Structure 1
Amino acid sequence: MPDTVITTRQLRRTVLLVAALNFAYFFVEVGVALAIGSVSLFADSVDFLEDTAINLLIAFALGLSAHRRAVAGKAMALIILVPAVAALWQAVAKFGDPSPPDPLSLALTAGGAIVVNTVCAVLLARMRAHGSSMSHAAYLAARNDVIANALIIVVAGITVWTLSGWPDIVLGLVIVGLNATAAKEVWEVAEEERLAAKALAGEDID
């Protein structure tokens, strides 16, 4: 029993630290994204806000029953879709004027995001063994963020070469796809947890 209490406490501390890191860098990215008019960076900045919400929800839900954790997991699957909607909105807004964002600012900000997200991914990697949809959601979010950050740096290089804003817009749509895939995976894991909780309680599986 003491080991379980210690483990839960450690998990809570970890996700709260990850939430703080994400919330801090959100302001950095959204400020730069708005200043240079980058769709991909804007979508990624909202991603940091999404990760903040997910990890705060994990910290709150650690003491809940398996059924309620499953419900929380499905809520997080919906939260993951928020950056996708934001990226779509920003991309559509730039269709009429696809001016390129500043490549240097794009690359440097994405580089900083990689550092933050890598630290978060390392902190959260061990949570996968916790076996809940919440830990799965946190890890998937951190993993996808690192991928998206690397792609933003690639887009910065392409922008230097093409002097076009379309690579940035296209990447914004790619980030939409990454988050939609993560949301689907988290929803499926949460559903498995819900069914397991019903089976444990001796209820019929619908």
Structure 2
Amino acid sequence: MAGLNVAGFAVEASVALAIGSVALFADSVDFLEDTAVNLLIALALGWGARHRAIAGKVMAGVLLVPAAAAIWQAVSKWGDPAPPDVRWLVATALGAVLVNGLCAWLLARVRHVGGSLSRAAYLSARNDVLVNLLIVAMAAVTALTGSGWPDLLLGLVIVVIGLHAAVEVWEVADEEHLAAKALAGDEVG
């Protein structure tokens, strides 16, 4: 999955920069974040519950990276949001739906097994499918209006989705941390 995500990043980032899409750029950064999540999971699965909980909290922070990228792009384009090329936008987003859908499908059956780390990977892939479908819908609105505002606003929606996923992963990591403390006989509270 890490390889699929690196390839997705390269394609989406290139297209996003070429057509000037805030939403597609934020999604491309998310592909890079997914690569990091998958690599960290591969490393951390053999760790104890306490260390996995710490890694889960780190992953909650990593989930904020796409949100920060979207904010940066939105602020830089706020004064003049030119519409991106809709054809490239749709083609790229539909390709990303396929990649992210495959990853989400593979992760769905293990999302409750590896604690916060597998939850982070699954939520990230699931959210990516939703964002890609929103990009396709936004492209239709952009085509109808000829405005760059739908792209800019969707970039901000990506921020909200990223924040929600980060909160969910943080909560699961907190639960794991408390469980690890209880197993170790430490005072929980």
1:90-105 correspondence to structure 2 within 5 Å: 90-105=73-88
Native 8 Å contact 2:49 2:180 kept in 1: yes
Query: Which runs of 5 or more residues in structure 2 are unaligned?
Result: none
Amino acid corresponding to residue 99 of structure 2 in structure 1: V
Shift of 1:129: 3.3
Aligned to 1:193: 176
Aligned to 2:25: 42
Larger helix fraction of residues: 1
Amino acid corresponding to residue 112 of structure 1 in structure 2: G
Shift of 1:131: 4.3
CA distance in 1, matches of 2:142, 2:183: 54
Amino acid corresponding to residue 90 of structure 2 in structure 1: A
Aligned to 2:3: 20
Aligned-pair identity in percent equals 65
Aligned to 1:81: 64
| 4+ long deviations beyond 4 Å | none
CA offsets 1:9-29 (integer angstroms, 9 cap, x no match): xxxxxxxxx111101110000
Choose the corresponding residue for 1:51, options 19, 31, 34. Answer: 34
CA distance in 2, matches of 1:132, 1:202: 20
Q: For 1:127, what is the secondary structure of its paired residue?
A: coil
- Give TM-score, length-normalised by structure 1: 0.91
CA distance in 1, matches of 2:108, 2:181: 28
Native 8 Å contact 2:112 2:119 kept in 1: no
Aligned to 1:3: none
CA distance in 2, matches of 1:131, 1:201: 19
Change (3 A) 1:131 1:60: closer
Aligned to 1:124: 107
The answer on 1:180 being equivalent to 2:151 is no
CA distance in 1, matches of 2:106, 2:185: 36
Aligned to 1:169: 152
Aligned to 2:118: 135
CA distance in 2, matches of 1:58, 1:171: 29
Aligned to 1:72: 55
CA distance in 2, matches of 1:129, 1:147: 20
CA distance in 1, matches of 2:56, 2:79: 38
Shift of 1:128: 1.5
Q: For 1:101, what is the secondary structure of its paired residue?
A: coil
Aligned to 1:153: 136
CA distance in 2, matches of 1:110, 1:176: 17
CA offsets 1:140-169 (integer angstroms, 9 cap, x no match): 000100000000000110011000000000
Q: For 2:188, what is the secondary structure of its paired residue?
A: coil
